[in-house]
Amino acid sequence: MEKIAFLGLGRMGLPMARRLADSGHPLTVWNRTAGRAGGLTEAASPAEAAQGAGIVITMLADPAAVEAVAEQVADGLAPGTLWIDMSSIGPAATAALRDRLPDGVALVDAPVLGSVGPAATGGLTVLAGGRTEDLDRAQPMLGALGTVLRCGGPGSGAALKIVVISAMVGGVALVGETLALADSLGLSEELALGVLANGPLGGAVARARSRDSDFPIRLAAKDLGLAGGGPVLTAVRELLLADPDLAEQDLSRIVDAIRR
């Protein structure tokens, strides 16, 4: 198995890194805030973690974080290295990262769908984009983390993640809006949700009612910002940003906020 440098040990990154280590992959990790490695081999810098690694995996918060790490790591990568970016940064930032890498260093974009629980158990859905030979090489690592959906060429995984997350976040906000409407019309929550759950909003209702997911509202707003300036998604993003006290709460809390 190839040596992996895993950069980013946040909510999702740490259980994913542990999953790879438990699967037998030799692993060195780095995180901006030290001391989160939980027994994994920790490097003092991303460049140190990447030294001698054939695979570099990034699971970082946003495009700026990925760019900052690339500035420290990219120029030192040897030809033949494969960078797998699992962050949610959108296709434009993914293309910028690809252009930043030296000749002979390949990139697979592989953001994920799922929360902290599935990250720990290998139950994520991995949206992978890249050249076929690079996807084949990445498959053992990605397959340890979940079900791999090959989306197409470079950038396609990053693009599909933004499409899917926009639909999901917008759907949860719409559930909150429709429940507020039901409240105003004197209808019970149980009745309204029961009917909505059996219709086109069934998936959004399930996510809105989830109590074991951990997708902070601030990250949902960040992802909608990557989607561009469509009027509906712009309005939802503004709603997500309206109450800073909810920033670290799971997305499902936005339903209660809308109904207040």
Whether the pLDDT of residue 146 is over 90: the answer is yes
- For the chain, which domains are there? 4-153 (3.40.50.720), 159-259 (1.10.1040.10)
Grade residue 5 by pLDDT with cuts at 50, 70 and 90.
very high
Mean pLDDT of 182-189: 97
Cα 243 to Cα 103: distance, rounded to the nearest angstrom: 45
Residue 141 phi/psi, 5-degree rounding, is -75, -50
User: Is the pLDDT at 1 greater than 90, yes or no?
Assistant: no
Q: Which amino acid is at 162?
A: I
Q: For residue 50, give both structure tokens.
A: 């990447």
Q: How does residue 115 score in pLDDT terms, banded at 50, 70 and 90? A: very high
Instruction: Give the CB-side neighbour count of residue 248, counting CA atoms within 13 A.
Output: 3
Residue 215 CA, chain-centre distance (Å), reads 9
Query: What is this structure's pTM?
Result: 0.94
Is pLDDT above 90 for 229?
no
Q: CA-to-CA distance for 130 and 251, rounded, in angstroms?
A: 30
Q: What single letter denotes the amino acid at residue 29? A: V
Catalytic residue annotation: 161
pLDDT at residue 228, as a whole number:
87
pLDDT for res 69: 98
- pLDDT value at position 65? 97
Calculate ∠ Cα 112-15-95, nearest 5°. 35
- What's the whole-number average pLDDT of the chain? 96
The model's pLDDT over 13-56, given as tens digits with 9 standing for 90+, comes to 999 999 999 999 999 999 999 998 989 999 999 999 999 999 99
Average pLDDT on 120-147 reads 98
Q: Are strands 4-7 and 55-58 parallel, antiparallel or unpaired?
A: parallel
